[in-house]
């Protein structure tokens, strides 16, 4: 049975607190609009996910650590590297499975931490959209840091915490307002890189979604 008339969105959340629920809620909104939505969650997360998915489909991919998830990895760097490799392979299998079942994927919406999912989608000729679970202001700071448009994190760490910092697009801030990933350089290592690497292939995304609302990002 071919169901190409119904758009089918495959949603790939990053398997961590604060990332799954926003994309789950997004999937609910798509379903309410008559779109078929499928969540692609890791095997480890699937063991502990008790939320009612209703009309939302669920497929399982792997992060390479099926028995323990992130905490089973040797290091954050090891987890991210293996998730990219194994996640890409198993996401490919899910897309092929949906194609053969008569519900081909129309597009892939992926957590911005999973930029590799865009490469997988485009490999099938499927469009992809990056979903940022953090608000616009936070993303703005990380983006400018990624592009080299801000001073080095080291300079913020040694700055007077009471002096204002000017960041284009944002009201005056102090170092106390900055994310600790930036204001405490070197301490978070792989996490800092992960937040900046959200933007590596963003220019290739067909859409960009941000988990925010007008009143929050009005300024």
Q: Where are the domains of the chain?
A: 8-133, 137-183
* 155 has pLDDT over 70: no
Average pLDDT over residues 134-143: 87
Neighbouring residues of 155: CB distance < 8 A, sequence distance ≥ 6: none
Lowest mean pLDDT among 29-38, 109-118, 165-174, 210-219: 210-219
Q: In what order do the strands lie in the sheet with 57-61?
A: 57-61, 36-42, 8-12, 107-111, 127-132, 207-210
> CA geometry: angle at 212 spanning 83 and 94, to 5°?
30
Residue 59 has phi, psi (to 5 degrees) of -125, 155
**Fold category of 8-133 in CATH:** Rossmann fold (3.40.50)
Helix or strand holding residue 155 (H, E): helix 153-157
- Residue entry with tokens 């490469």: 119
Higher pLDDT, 168 or 122: 122
Average pLDDT over residues 187-199: 83
Active site residues: 19, 111
pLDDT score recorded for residue 152: 60
* 25 has pLDDT over 90: yes
């Amino acid at each position: 049975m071919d169901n190409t008339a119904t758009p089918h969105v495959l949603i790939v959340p990053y398997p961590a607190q604060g990332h799954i629920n926003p994309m789950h809620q997004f999937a609910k909104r798509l379903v309410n609009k008559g779109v078929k939505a499928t969540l692609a969650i890791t095997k480890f997360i699937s063991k502990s996910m008790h939320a009612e998915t209703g009309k939302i489909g669920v497929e399982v991919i792997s992060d390479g650590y099926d028995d323990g998830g992130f905490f089973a990895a040797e290091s954050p760097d090891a987890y991210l590297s293996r998730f990219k490799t194994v996640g890409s392979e198993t996401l490919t299998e899910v897309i092929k499975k949906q194609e053969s079942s008569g519900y081909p994927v129309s597009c892939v919406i992926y957590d911005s931490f999973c930029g590799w999912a865009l490469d997988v989608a485009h490999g099938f000729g499927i469009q992809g959209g990056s979903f940022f679970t953090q608000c616009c202001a936070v993303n703005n700071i990380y983006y400018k840091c990624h592009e080299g448009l801000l001073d080095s994190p080291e300079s913020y760490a040694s700055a007077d915490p009471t002096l204002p910092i000017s960041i284009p697009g944002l009201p005056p801030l102090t170092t106390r307002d900055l994310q600790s990933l930036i204001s405490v350089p070197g301490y978070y290592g792989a996490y800092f890189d992960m937040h900046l690497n959200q933007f590596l292939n963003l220019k290739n995304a067909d859409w960009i979604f941000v988990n925010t609302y007008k009143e929050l990002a009005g300024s």
